[in-house]
Structure 1
Amino acid sequence: MLTAGALVPVGYVVHAAIAMGWTELATLVIRPKVGELLVNTALLAVIGVPAAVVLGVGAAWLVERTALPARRVFAVAFAAPLAIPAFVASYGWASAIPSINGLWGGLLVAVLAYFPLVYLPAMAAIRGLDPALEESARALGLGSWMVFIRVVLPQLRLAILGGALIVALHLLSEYGAFAFLRFDTFTTAIVVAYQATFAGPNAAALGIVLVVLCLVLLGAESLARGRSRYARVGGGAPHPPALLPLGRAAWVAITASIALLAAAILVPLASVVRWLLRADAAEFGALASATAQTSGLAVAGALCAVLVALPIAWLSVRHAGRLSRALEGAAYLASSLPAIIVALALVGTTLAIAPALYQTVFTVIAAYVVIFLPRALVPLRAGLAQVPESLEEAARSLGIAPLPARLRVTLPLLLPSIGAGAALVALGAANELTATLLLAPTGTRTVATSFWSAASSLDYPAAAPYALVLVLLSIPAVALMFAHATGRSLR
């Protein structure tokens, strides 16, 4: 049942393709508009992903391997852009520079919003490297740049590929930021087609192309990852790495870092504050209602996601095998699809099987579970892996039945992981826009949809309070991600 539920979006796409037939599908796909969308998407990926990788890896290397002044402050600050949703960042930039739009505007906002998704895994990977490898390379006469290129960079391959894949999937699925900047992508076109024809064949055809692109990205990342092993035997050198002195380049590094953070954080937040000072007091009354509805949906989505993730994580850790791998794979595959596809799949499924569930809280929560399930699954799996099975065996040897033993011994030790997973899902759900716009019951006003309603009407003062709340709601999730990536405070 869990696998079937997670694969509803994939089944929807396959069914839509079969139902349309090759002739109709080819007619809808092979046309100039789809070619334009494909070019836009390709440019986003070809330019945006490498740019995010360069910024993310460069920032991680600066704070982990150089004597950058105030590097502890910069280490936290480089993760901070994740606290500003991309569609809020586009609102900030568009209200500051009204002429910003199109491909380059979309790239600017997206790269600034998503480069921390490469920075965090790259920083964790660099921190885990054995400094002796770099010291040996320097002893053999390699300069600092060659050490980075020939020793450090190859060890970051998995982190870079993982971060790049996440950035690419975000670029494919992002709606609000690109719609606000008037840049057409497959996701924005699907939303427009859905609104025009109510899940007609045009939206389904575009959705099929978008799913194919996602699968291509997943396959390309898997091939690029290869079978190389990067683990080391033993604990490595027990001393911290020697920090590379920057000399005169220190001011260049500081200036570049401040400029990056100003563009990613200060510009959007300055716009939010500027419009917030002009907001009508009545908007703050509506804000309370939107925040309450958002909190209710987010908490319900988090609880359901944890309940779904628990048995999958349990099988993955305690009973590893083909079944557990299939369940995990289904969860990750479904969540890698854009939220618009998940929403369209739930629309089609509920209308076909249970029309009474259409545009109800049930479909919204189901979408949140499918989209954000890995956020609950990863912490739970890591937490279970750290709980010795021998503790349960000891409890059972004292006459306690298996289920009570798990509830009394394992569950308390899992509470931090459960809390972390639930928090990540809840905060992701609170910022979710596309699926909520399509699935929420009539009259539902979440913070994200309320922000979008005001911002898309160019009512910037009315949108500002909602933008501020979205940022505040995102801060705990970013703190959790940073803590997970660093594992401990900076040296």
Structure 2
Amino acid sequence: MATLGSVVFRTRNLHLLANTLSLAAGVLLVATLIALPLAWLTTRSDVPGRRLVTLLGVLPLAIPGYVMAYVLLAVSGRYGALSLALGVDIPRPGGYVGALLALSLYTFPYMFLNLRAALLGLDVSIEESAQALGLTRRQVFFRIVLPQLKPAWMAGGLLIVLHVLGDFGVVSLMRFKTFSYAIFLQYTGAFDRLYAAWLALMLLAVTATLLLAEAKSLRTTFLARRGPGSALPPARTRLGPWRIPVLSGLALVALWSVVLPLGTLVYWSLRGLSSPGVSVAGALLGSVSASAPAAVLTVVLALPVAYASARLRIRSVQWLERVAWMGYAIPPLALALAVIFMALSLAPGLYQTMFLLVAVYAVHFLAEALGPLRTAFYQANPSVEESARTLGRSRIAAFLASVLPSIRPGLVTATAFIFLSVMKELPLTYLLSPIGFQSLAVNVWSLTNEAQYALAAPHALMIVAVSSLFVGLLLHRESNRNSDSNPDVPA
């Protein structure tokens, strides 16, 4: 125990813990400060161009965190795009501030989507009753609306914190030492790989503690309606004299989260066209060759779990879902190290093979496929399958003939989610890919790490272009869901 205590409670470890938690808390705070006003403006105000503002709240999802870090580094400094355009030497962000900016601009859409969905689903009659009792709009917002947003805030916050805990690309480019960055340095530098394993276990313990705390907090939350009736559509608050300041704030968010990143990528891509570098086509082919089989395998594994969850509802299936979420919650670097140690110990021939890489992708992203598939099964009429069974077909034949066609939208959504998530994945790809394997994500990170911004830009721009499909799919699903649930409420 003395040895264990001396390893765990090193001063350096406590410093890493403080850095990691302070970064997670800072990103959560900044993301909330951006997402909550955006969500309220798109659901409760008469702000012009609500659809455009909604698009603004989702578009940054197309720009991975390490690409956002690349943009902040490439736009600043003596030869940065913004510095050259303004004729002013803009200091290059780094450390805590740089990591905070990059991660906040990348993750706030997770909070925005959750809060916006919650605001659209709130029962406005409760707010109207509170106003009838004499409460002002401000009092209603803080006493009635905000408490009801707690589950949505915690869901979005959990996603953000998990991203920060598992992030490696941003903190490594910004040179801010968190658990993930320290694990990477210890492992790749071959300084002390046993110590890297201890750091991974500590990071996993922090993640598990946060998951348990979130689950315990939600057990005490109950926000369902107790009376009959249906929720009323929300009234729009007139911005009045606040319209100009609000539009200015929205323009500032758009500038930093969308316009500046895209403009920087285009600028450096044009500068890099004449420079010999790593083939974008080869990296794209490598990314697709890993993403496609990983997406298919993940959806195939998720299908029986989602089906059982929606139709059987037995306790063992709930445990399977929790295991799937643990695979997603485990920080990628910690997962990669565990897989490396197991492969080298049990099956050395599997290490750095495409088979192992695709299998680990499936384990990590299984939870992402469960959501769309489970929703699709819930929406599919079970009586159709039962009718097929009564006609003498086996369960598998009935599923293929009657259920599979009806869940096709969920299948497409889940496959697209996994494909694009794998394409953007960095630490698993970097540590587990075969020798000589190229991917867009690894090339962006490695070239940016060497300050080769012009060479990295085309790879980053390709990731953003492909990721835009993911954003479009999200917006399409969200639009369909809103039109189905509130057909009379304008978006």
Does the residue aligned with 1:404 lie in a helix, a strand or coil? helix
Give me the whole-angstrom Cα distance separating, in 2, the residues matched to 1:283 and 1:449: 18
Q: CA RMSD in A?
A: 1.7
1:402-425 CA-partner distances (Å, limit 9, x unpaired):
221111000111111111001000
The corresponding residue for 1:14 is: none
Whether the 8 Å CA contact 2:277–2:455 is kept in 1: the answer is no
* 1:387 paired residue among 380, 387, 392: 380
Q: CA deviation at 1:345?
A: 1.3
Q: Aligned residue for 1:430?
A: 423
1:473 aligns with 2:466: yes
Give runs of aligned pairs for residues 44-443 of structure 1, distance below 5 A: 44-98=23-77, 99-197=92-190, 200-232=193-225, 236-238=230-232, 240-281=233-274, 286-443=279-436
1:426–1:235 CA distance, 2 compared to 1 (3 A): farther
In the alignment, is the contact (CA less than 8 A) between 1:132 and 1:236 conserved in 2?
no
Q: Which letter does structure 1 place at the counterpart of 2:447? A: A
In the alignment, what sits opposite 1:6?
none
SS at match of 1:52: helix
Describe the SS at the equivalent of 1:69: coil
Distance 2:270 2:300 in 1: 42
Residue 474 (structure 1) shift: 1.0
More displaced 10-residue stretch of structure 1: 221-230 or 310-319: 221-230
1:237 positional shift: 4.3
What CA distance in whole angstroms lies between the structure 1 residues aligned with 2:278 and 2:34? 40
3-state DSSP of counterpart to 2:482: coil
Q: Is the 8 A contact 1:187 1:340 kept in 2?
A: yes
CA distance in 2, matches of 1:310, 1:146: 46
Bigger mean CA offset, 312-321 vs 331-340: 312-321
- 1:275-316 superposed Cα distances (whole Å, 9 cap, x missing partner): 111113466881111111111110111011001111111221
Letter of the structure 2 residue corresponding to residue 323 of structure 1: S
Q: Is the 8 A contact 1:306 1:376 kept in 2?
A: yes
Contact 1:92–1:270 (CA under 8 A) maintained in structure 2: no
Tell me, yes or no, if structure 1 residue 488 matches structure 2 residue 482.
yes
User: What is the CA–CA distance in structure 1 between the aligned matches of 2:278 and 2:26, rounded to whole Å?
Assistant: 42
Distance 1:197 1:77 in 2: 43
State the one-letter code of the partner of 2:98. Answer: G
Q: Is the 8 A contact 2:280 2:459 kept in 1?
A: yes
SS in 2 for 1:445: coil
User: Which amino acid counterpart does residue 65 of structure 2 have in structure 1?
Assistant: A
- Equivalent pair of 1:120/1:482 in contact (CA under 8 Å): no
Matched residue type, 1:82: L
How big is the shift at 1:213?
0.7
Q: CA deviation at 1:124?
A: 0.6
CA distance change for structure 1 residues 45 and 333 in 2, over 3 Å: closer, same or farther?
A: same
Unaligned runs of 5+ in 2: 78-91, 484-489
- Does structure 1 conserve the Cα–Cα contact (< 8 Å) formed by 2:369 and 2:417? yes
Corresponding residue number in structure 2 for 1:447: 440
Match of 1:40 among 19, 22, 25: 19
| Corresponding letter in the other structure for 1:236 | S
Letter in 2 for 1:97: S
After superposing the two structures, state which structure 1 stretch, 280-289 or 422-431, moved more.
Answer: 280-289
Write the deviation string for residues 390-438 of structure 1: whole angstroms up to 9, x where unpaired. 1111112222222211110001111111110010001000000001000
2:305, 2:247 → 1: CA distance? 45
Residue in 1 that maps onto 2:86: none
Q: Which deviates further from its counterpart, 309-318 or 431-440?
A: 309-318
**CA displacement at 1:152 relative to structure 2:** 1.4
Alignment identity in percent? 35
Residue 136 of structure 1 deviates from its aligned partner by 2.3
Q: Are the counterparts in 2 of residues 123 and 485 from structure 1 also a CA contact under 8 Å?
A: no
Structure 2 CA distance for partners of 1:234 and 1:366, relative to 1, 3 Å: farther
Q: How many residues align?
A: 469
CA distance in 1, matches of 2:277, 2:412: 30
Deviates more, 1:425-434 or 1:471-480: 471-480
Q: CA deviation at 1:374?
A: 1.2
Of 319-328 and 266-275, deviating more is 266-275
Under a length normalisation based on structure 1, what TM-score does the superposition of the two structures give?
Answer: 0.92
Q: Is contact 1:25–1:205 with CA below 8 Å preserved after alignment?
A: no
